[in-house]
Amino acid sequence: MSNNVGIIGYGTYIPRYRIKKEEYIKTWGHFSGKIEEKSVIGYDEDVITMAVEAGYNAIHNSRINKNDLKLIAIGSVSSPYNVKSMASEVAMALGLPMDILLLDFTESEKAGTTALSTGIDIIENKGGYGLIIGSDAPLATPGDSLEHVQAAAAAAIVIGNNNKSIAEIVGKKTANIEYISDRFKRNGTKMMKDLEIAPYSNYAYNNTIKKTVNDLTDELKIKLNEFDHVYIQGHDSRQPTRIFKQLNKNKIYLDTLRIIGDTGAASALLGLNAILYYKAKENDRILIVSYGSGAGSDALGIKVNRKQDKINEIPTIDQYINRKEYINYEKYLKFKELIDLD
Amino acid sequence: MAHVSIPKYWKALPQKYRLVAGKCSNCGELNFPPTTLCKKCGQENTQKHIELKGKGTVYTYTIIGRGGAPPEFAKMQKKCGPYAIAIVELEEGLKINVQLTDCDPFKDVNIGMKVSAVFRRIYEQENVIRYGLKFRPIIE
């Protein structure tokens, strides 16, 4: 990689509502996830509205002219449409130029980093800026273990030439190994399915992630422990902490998983936003690893140049995390349209 | 259900999605939505399109309870309870009629409250999601 592309700015969106694991325990008798609470998408929200707010924040934090954007790439497994672009609606809402390249990625819960990785390659050749958004609110059948941790958020990044970047993207690798799906959603159905074959799922997770991370550390000639902050996408905080025994556990960033939950295709970019906001210092090295069932994983190596300046009118990730309204399980069912009125 | 055709809705997308107004280059008046003739000086084709910032304060409001919602909002009212409708005075001086979201209409809303525009699902018609702007309390 010629290291020409970096992160110009980032922006986040997290819905206002939260549900605590105790609400699940009251209803189901147990809670199958190692998280404390999770975000819940509001009734008048979807992945498109969340993407618009995260994208707006990222553009403003980047202090770029939005007419210089050359592409918008969105990753999500929860588009409200099967046929119709998410990116098109978001571009209209943000007032982006009409010759912009629109990319939707929906292949798995790693779609957010697929968008980022593809965007990097295109901007490297084309110049200008790219707006990358992971926005998701995945949904499985209530009562399935998978559903307990499923949450909602969006995270956006503006990429562009490195000479103005707050962080450099120093390397990226992908690994795609077919594991006939342990997690999928059939056409015409609303719910994601997980066959819950734990040993198989764990094998797919570990094998795919280890492959992409090893490829990246080999290319960058760096040891895993030399990264200062690591984010590994997972359903809850157990998966990321189990995988690399040799990695200093304090370096694994888990906060967004523990308090926001599994945000699907937004997960990896949300983790990156949180590390850049809360943790990163000049010259810190960050490893971001995504995972999508099926199975695929992207690993990105990032070197920090500086913190992003705060713009007063743009809420930070910390403000979104602290803005919360707890709801009970009944309201949760209504918001998620799991009780049908017609 | 009050029917707004897709072509009519589409025509107003710049206003519904990001508050595009027409600023008259002759007298400086803001026209929302933009018009052919400026509503203040009457000059023709003098308006430059600008995006309003979407920040303002609640000028007045009312709360819509059970049975009071127009048909396109009845389902939302049933699921989420009463909601507030407000006249918001924008920083640019215009007043617009909006729905408030992300707040409890009884506990959180008051006249003079600072609000900002957010892109949300407004309702569905003909199986198409109609998006647009609502306002919510500013995040501090």
The 3 state secondary structure assigned to B21-90 is EEEECCCCCEECCCCCECCCCCCECCEEEEECCCEEEEEEEEEECCCCCCHHHHHHHHHHCCEEEEEEEE
A128 and A160, same structural domain? yes
Residue A17 lies in a domain: yes
Average pLDDT, integer, range A82-107? 97
pLDDT band at residue A135 using 50, 70 and 90 as cut-offs: very high
A-B contacts (CB, under 8 Å)? 57
Measure the CA angle with vertex A267, ends A11 and A140; round to 5°: 130
pLDDT band at residue A342 using 50, 70 and 90 as cut-offs: low
Closest partner residue to B102 (CB to CB) among A16, A80, A339 is: A16
Q: Which residues of B touch A339 (CB under 8 A)?
A: 79
pLDDT in tens, chain B (140 residues): 578 899 999 999 999 999 999 999 999 999 999 999 999 999 999 999 999 999 999 999 999 998 889 989 988 998 899 999 999 999 999 999 999 999 999 999 999 999 999 999 999 998 999 999 999 999 98
Residue A215's CATH number? 3.40.47.10
Which tokens is B86 given? 């407000």
Average pLDDT, integer, range A192-215? 93
Give the pLDDT score at B79: 87
Write out pLDDT tens, residues A311-325.
Answer: 999 999 999 999 999
Which range of residues forms the domain containing residue A249? 168-304
Least confident range from A192-196, A282-286, B21-25, B27-31: namely A192-196
Distance, CA of A315 to CA of A266 (rounded, Å): 18
A183 and A39, same structural domain? no
A153 and A43, same structural domain? yes
Question: Which residue is associated with the tokens 């939505």?
Answer: B33
Write out pLDDT tens, residues A154-178.
Answer: 999 999 999 989 999 999 999 999 9
Write out pLDDT tens, residues A296-312.
Answer: 999 999 999 999 999 99
Write out pLDDT tens, residues A36-67.
Answer: 999 999 999 999 999 999 999 999 999 999 99
Give the pLDDT score at A246: 85
Phi/psi for B34 (5° steps) reads: -60, 145
Give the pLDDT score at A295: 84
CATH 1.10.10 fits B54-137, yes or no: no
Residues 6+ apart with CB under 8 A from A163: none
Q: Does the beta-carbon distance from B129 to A320 stay under 8 Å?
A: no
**Burial (Cβ within 10 Å: 0-12, 13-18, ≥19) of residue A208:** buried
Fill in the amino acid letter for A283: N
A199 and A293, same structural domain? yes
A205 and A285, same structural domain? yes
Give the pLDDT score at A155: 98
Q: Does the beta-carbon distance from B121 to A313 stay under 8 Å?
A: no
Radius of gyration (C-alpha) of chain B in whole angstroms: 16
Strand, helix or coil for residue A131: strand
**Burial (Cβ within 10 Å: 0-12, 13-18, ≥19) of residue A299:** buried
Q: Which residues of A touch B134 (CB under 8 A)?
A: 44
Mean pLDDT of chain A: 94
Give the pLDDT score at A194: 86
Residue A342 lies in a domain: no
Q: Which residues of A touch B14 (CB under 8 A)?
A: 95
DSSP-derived pairing of the beta strands A69-75 and A101-105: parallel
Is the pLDDT at A3 greater than 70? The verdict is no
A97 and A30, same structural domain? yes
Q: Among A129, A134, A55, which residue's Cα sits nearest to residue A90? A: A55
B32: how many CB neighbours lie within 10 A of its CB?
Answer: 18
Angle at which helices A267-274 and A111-126 cross, to 10°: 70
Is the pLDDT at A144 greater than 90? The verdict is no
Instruction: Give the number of domains in chain A.
Output: 2
A272 vs A184, more confident: A272
Give the pLDDT score at A341: 62
Q: Does the beta-carbon distance from A43 to B80 stay under 8 Å?
A: yes
Beta bridge partners of A159: A7, A130
A24 and A149, same structural domain? yes
Give the pLDDT score at B51: 96
Q: Strands across the sheet with A69-75, in order? A: A101-105, A69-75, A129-136, A153-161, A5-13, A167-176, A296-304, A285-289, A229-232
How far does A152 lie from chain B, in Å, by closest CA? 15
A185 and A235, same structural domain? yes
Average pLDDT, integer, range A118-144? 95
Is the pLDDT at A97 greater than 70? The verdict is yes
Q: Does the beta-carbon distance from A341 to B76 stay under 8 Å?
A: no
A219 and A91, same structural domain? no
A23 and A153, same structural domain? yes
A204 and A58, same structural domain? no
Residue A247 lies in a domain: yes
Q: Where are the domains of chain B?
A: 54-137
Rounded to two decimals, the ipTM of the complex is: 0.96
